[in-house]
Amino acid sequence: MRREWSVAIAIGALAAALALVAPSYFSAENLRDIFLVNMPVLVAAIGTTLVILTGEIDISVGSAFAVCSVAAGVAAKAGMPTALAGLTACAVGAAAGAVNGALVAYAGIPSIVVTLAAMVALRDGLRWTTQGAWIADLPPRFQWLGVAQSTFPVVAGLASGLLVVAFAWAMRNLAAGRAVYATGSNAQAARLASIDTAFVKLAVFTAGGALTGLAALLNSVRFNQIPSNTGIGLEMKVIAAVVVGGAAITGGRGTFTGTVLGVMLLGAIGPALTFFGVSAQWERALQGAIILAAVTVDAARAGLSRTALVGA
């Protein structure tokens, strides 16, 4: 839980500074807006956490997000009810994830290679088929999942909260969850303990793809049109949130609490800098510096405690 505390402290420091300089940041309206903007990132980050826990990586999330968004829009336009359109998005995401997973688990190709290829191919494939056209004239019941605009944040909050809690619980208490950790900690040992590590990897990529589809749906329903070039750079946002949240990129270590905190920190920084009145030109540099500072402090502390241990 070490890294989780570092991130929580960073969020606390940011919140304290905001409370002093720009207390209006904490208006219910602003918090709701920030939550809605970052909720798709959170849902996609759950999937990426699973993938990273097994020691793999998925950088095709942004491209898959775009494909799923367009799929959901096309399905809704074809007259499907919103639930079915959502399922379509999840299914398309799961299929893309399953192909990635199969290539990683059964063909033994490194995940960064597989998903790099998927990222480029899906993005350019989508550009080719849509020719950049947006999906417009969506049926009115598609927006806000058919509920009122004011109730949507509640629905979305409950849905994503439930999802996080369910995954956190399952990863702790179910055999399947432990198998994910075991695969990421030491695949060889896990195999000897009769865990089908290849299947575990296929499963996490598929689940990650389905969650990307869900994220795409939750994002698409906030608007009445779907751009076909959406989600560019989403994979970097998601991966940054997960690793800042303390998940080890080598697998086997990381929690959903950490991921939630990571999404919170990175999602809060952007608007916070505007509230502080920082000019947009320096924003990206500050974001990079904050990420580096967070992980450096953490690593330095780990180094100190290690020295202390050796000294004792």
In the complex, minimum distance from the CB of residue 288 to another protein, in angstroms, rounded to a whole number: 3
Q: Which is nearer to another protein, 3 or 167 (CB)?
A: 3
Task: Determine, following the binding rule CB under 8 A, whether residue 236 of this chain makes contact with another protein.
Answer: yes
Rounded (10°) angle between helices 82-105 and 61-77: 150
CB of 164 to another protein, least distance (A): 22
Is the distance from CB of 82 to CB of 76 less than 8 angstroms?
A: yes
> Is 283 one of the binding residues for another protein (CB under 8 A)?
yes
Q: Of 5-13, 131-139, 159-167, 174-182, which part binds another protein (CB under 8 A)?
A: 131-139
To 10 degrees, the CA torsion angle through 193, 197, 203, 207?
Answer: 90
Q: Which of 207, 211, 239, 268 binds another protein (CB under 8 A)?
A: 239
Least distance to another protein, CB of residue 251, Å: 11
Which residues in the 24-53 window bind another protein by CB under 8 A?
24, 27, 29-30, 33, 37
Q: Which is nearer to another protein, 146 or 177 (CB)?
A: 146
Q: Which is nearer to another protein, 47 or 201 (CB)?
A: 201
Mention every residue, 6+ apart, whose C-beta is less than 8 A from residue 75. 84, 85, 88, 89
CA angle, 238 then 270 then 19, to 5°? 125
- Site residues for another protein, 87-126, by CB under 8 A, read 92, 95-96, 98-99, 102-103, 106-110, 112-114, 116-121, 123-125
Please enumerate in sequence order all residues whose Cβ is within 8 A of that of 309, keeping only pairs 6 or more positions apart, or say none: none
Per-residue burial over 285-303, b = 16 or more CB atoms within 10 Å of its CB, e = otherwise = eeeeebbeebbeebeeeee
Nearest alpha carbon to residue 218 among 147, 126, 133, 124 = 147
Toward another protein, which CB reaches closer, 2 or 172? Answer: 2
Sort residue 233 into left (φ over 0), alpha (ψ -120 to 50) or beta.
left
Please report where in the chains the tokens 């709701």 appear, as a residue.
32
**Residue in 160, 228, 255, 259 binding another protein, rule: CB under 8 A:** 228
Q: Binding to another protein by residue 230, rule CB under 8 A?
A: yes
Residue 10: what residue type?
A
Q: Minimum Å distance from CB 302 to another protein?
A: 8
Nearer Cβ to another protein, position 133 or 162? 133
Q: Kindly state whether residue 227 participates in binding another protein, applying the rule CB under 8 A.
A: yes
SS3 135: strand
* Contacting another protein within 136-195 (CB under 8 A): 136, 149, 191
Binding range to another protein, per CB under 8 A, among 12-20, 156-164, 173-181, 220-228: 220-228
Whole-number minimum distance, CB 78 to another protein, in Å? 7
DSSP tag of 251: S
Helix (H) / strand (E) containing 252: none
Q: Does 74 bind another protein (CB under 8 A)?
A: yes
